[in-house]
């Protein structure tokens, strides 16, 4: 079955860019049936959807983060990536990637998810 | 944004109990409501999608319901492996999540 695995630096300095990669195994990121999302959870807070990418490269972002986020995909590696620029301590969170069962208009349920990776923003 | 309010934030229960968790949406979201289970250090797991549809492989003791903008997740006959945190998510528009309900052993 499809599995997701996040990877990337666990520590990022304030004002720099947070970059994470999600590797998908057991299925193709080039599928026209799914979208690929990033979600985060700061400690003690609720989950927050960041954005998603489709196999065509089209993207949709949470308006609250849109000015700082870029999500892209690399079909040759079956990976998709998250870049979040100008980070502050408020961006410290566990970051998850997930397969999104949505359509062109909106995301839907997320399944499966990766185990998550903690990213701390600190100097 | 659509606000999702879960209750209770935590509960204590015994194996075999019937447990109900509620998620209230701040506006109508039709049946665009999904439930997940999360255990520490592991990936969230989809339990119920579109308010009442049981995800493949999920035990039938889990069920979902809807009444207006109130949604429920019921565990009928709590098992030891069910002690975890549960959260809801709406997909009517930009996805938002409930704050989670921690189910602990009494």
Given CB atoms, is B7 within the 8 Å cutoff of chain A?
no
Q: Which residues of A touch B46 (CB under 8 A)?
A: 109-112
Q: Per-residue DSSP letters for B33-80?
A: EEEEEE-TTS--EEEEETTTEEPTTS-TTEEEEEETTEEEEEEES--G
Nearest to B43 among A47, A48, A112 (CB): A112
Given CB atoms, is A65 within the 8 Å cutoff of chain B?
no
Q: Is 90 exceeded by the pLDDT of residue A104?
A: no
pLDDT beneath 70: ranges in chain B: none
Q: Count A/B contacts: CB-CB distance under 8 Å.
A: 61
Helix segments in A4-83, DSSP class H: none
Cβ B19 vs Cβ B105: under 8 Å: no
Q: Could you tell me the CA-to-CA distances from B37 to A83, A99, B30, B42 in Å, in that order?
A: 28, 16, 22, 10
For testing contact with chain B, the best of A2, A26, A44, A109 (most B CBs within 10 A): A109
Contact state of B87 with A112 under an 8 Å Cβ cutoff: no
* Predicted confidence band of residue A103 (pLDDT cuts 50, 70, 90): confident
pLDDT tens per residue, range A38-93:
999 999 999 999 999 999 999 999 999 999 999 999 999 999 999 999 999 999 99
Nearest to A46 among B44, B55, B97 (CB): B97
Contact state of B94 with A115 under an 8 Å Cβ cutoff: no
Cβ B93 vs Cβ A62: under 8 Å: no
Given CB atoms, is A104 within the 8 Å cutoff of chain B?
no
pLDDT of residue B85: 97
* Predicted confidence band of residue A25 (pLDDT cuts 50, 70, 90): very high
Q: Tokens 């999600």 identify what position?
A: A22
For testing contact with chain B, the best of A45, A111, A117 (most B CBs within 10 A): A111
Q: Is 90 exceeded by the pLDDT of residue A100?
A: yes
**Percent of chain A having pLDDT more than 90?**
95
pLDDT of residue A106: 86
pLDDT of residue A105: 83
CB atoms closer than 10 angstroms to residue B46: 24
pLDDT of residue B41: 87
Nearest to A106 among B89, B93, B100 (CB): B93
């Amino acid at each position: 079955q499809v599995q997701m695995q996040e990877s990337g630096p666990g520590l990022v300095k304030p004002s720099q860019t947070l970059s994470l990669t999600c590797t998908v195994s057991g299925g193709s990121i080039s599928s026209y049936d799914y979208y690929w999302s990033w979600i985060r959870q700061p400690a003690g807070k609720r989950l927050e959807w960041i954005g998603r990418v489709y196999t065509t490269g089209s993207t949709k972002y949470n308006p609250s983060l849109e000015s700082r986020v870029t999500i892209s995909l690399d079909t040759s590696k079956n990976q998709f990536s998250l870049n979040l620029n100008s980070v502050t301590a408020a961006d410290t969170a566990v970051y998850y990637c997930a397969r999104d069962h949505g359509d062109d208009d909106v995301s839907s349920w997320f399944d499966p998810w990766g185990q998550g990776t903690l990213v701390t923003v600190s100097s | 944004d659509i606000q999702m309010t879960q209750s209770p934030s935590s509960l204590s229960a015994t194996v075999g109990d019937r447990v109900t968790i509620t998620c209230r949406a701040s506006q109508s979201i039709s049946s665009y409501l999904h439930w997940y289970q999360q255990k520490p250090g592991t990936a969230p797991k989809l339990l119920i999608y579109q308010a009442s549809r049981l995800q493949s492989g999920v035990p039938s003791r889990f069920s979902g319901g809807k009444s207006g903008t109130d949604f429920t997740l019921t565990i009928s006959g709590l098992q030891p492996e069910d002690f975890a945190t549960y959260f809801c998510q709406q997909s009517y528009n930009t996805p938002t999540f409930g704050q989670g309900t921690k189910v602990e052993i009494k």
